[in-house]
Amino acid sequence: MSHSAANLLRVEQVVKRFGGFRALDGVSFHLDPGEVLGLVGPNGSGKTTCINVISGLYPPDGGAVMFEGRPIGGMPMHMLARRGINRTFQSPKPFLSLTVRENVEIAAAYGHGPGRAAPDLRALLASLELDGLAERAAGDLNSAQQKTLDLARALATAPRLLLVDELAAGLNPAELLRMAERLRALAADGMALLVVEHLMGFIDRVTDRVIVMNAGKEIFEGTLATATRDPEVIRVFLGGAHG
């Protein structure tokens, strides 16, 4: 494991409490440009909370989040977006009464900071097969399309670090394959990705490395192939709801 301060993202012993409950209980990992890290674990293990802390929705209650060598814990979301961190949401959160095009326009106008080129929005929508829906209200889209719109909005800010939360749920096999290819292509262009997903086939196809979480703690880090042979991982997954 690398401990160089030059990692794009370093999460160090992060704790997040809700009341007395520790949703994150000393989580540490790092991520470099071009790398895709999978985050897996049973329901309630803290995956979404981890994304929420990194993206600035909640400040951490302990530990540190470092981005490009600087602490970002507790920084407001809009500043993090401008610095190059963006995300999707487990239940999609587009601006429902605005059109698909307006949804991405806002992100491109406000979310991309200095030093990053604004993407071509038309090409972006086309690449995500949203171009035919550009003038429709986001509220008219189905749930899978809204998730894709969340992704389009995140990409419109040209992020350096992209956090995706269960993007694959609800996609058909052909769509899953295309989505996996898209995420790989983003990484090939130098973006760092943190991918939370329950579908192991998708994780296998997309990630370089995985972290397995249970009850707010990291119980494994390595390749998915090794994870599936790890006795504690097996115990957690057989005991939990997912396999």
Ligand X SMILES: Nc1ncnc2c1ncn2[C@@H]1O[C@H](COP(=O)(O)OP(=O)(O)OP(=O)(O)O)[C@@H](O)[C@H]1O
Residue 33 CB: number of other CB atoms within 10 A? 14
Q: How far is the CB of 106 from another protein (least distance, A)?
A: 5
Q: Is 44 in the site for ligand X (CB under 6 A)?
A: yes
The interface partner of residue 18, options being Mg ion, another protein, ligand X, none and the CB cut-off 5 to 8 Å by kind, is ligand X
- What whole-number distance in Å separates Cα of residue 237 and Cα of residue 239? 5
Q: What is the DSSP letter of 158?
A: -
Q: How far is the CB of 87 from ligand X (least distance, A)?
A: 13
- Footprint of ligand X on 12-31 (CB under 6 A): 18, 23
3-state SS class at 63: strand
Q: Report in angstroms the alpha-carbon separations of 156 from 62, 84, 132, 135.
A: 31, 11, 17, 17
b/e sequence 154-187, b meaning 16+ C-beta within 10 Å: bbbbbbbbbbbbbbbbebeeeebeebbebbbebb
3-state SS class at 101: helix
Q: Which of 45, 48, 88, 207 binds Mg ion (CB under 5 A)?
A: 48
Q: How far is the CB of 44 from another protein (least distance, A)?
A: 21
What's the burial of 144, exposed, middle or buried (CB within 10 Å: 0-12/13-18/19+)?
A: middle
- What whole-number distance in Å separates Cα of residue 169 and Cα of residue 107? 24
Q: How far is the CB of 213 from ligand X (least distance, A)?
A: 7
Q: Which of 71, 110, 226, 235 binds another protein (CB under 8 A)?
A: 110
Q: How far is the CB of 41 from ligand X (least distance, A)?
A: 6
The interface partner of residue 110, options being ligand X, Mg ion, another protein, none and the CB cut-off 5 to 8 Å by kind, is another protein
Q: Which of 7, 48, 103, 214 binds ligand X (CB under 6 A)?
A: 48
Contact 186, 18 (CB under 8 A): no
Q: Is 73 in the site for another protein (CB under 8 A)?
A: no
Q: Which residues contact another protein (rule: CB under 8 A)?
A: 55-57, 76-78, 81-82, 86-87, 89, 93-98, 102, 105-107, 109-113, 153-154, 156-157
Residue numbers at the binding site for ligand X (CB under 6 A):
18, 23, 41, 43-49, 90
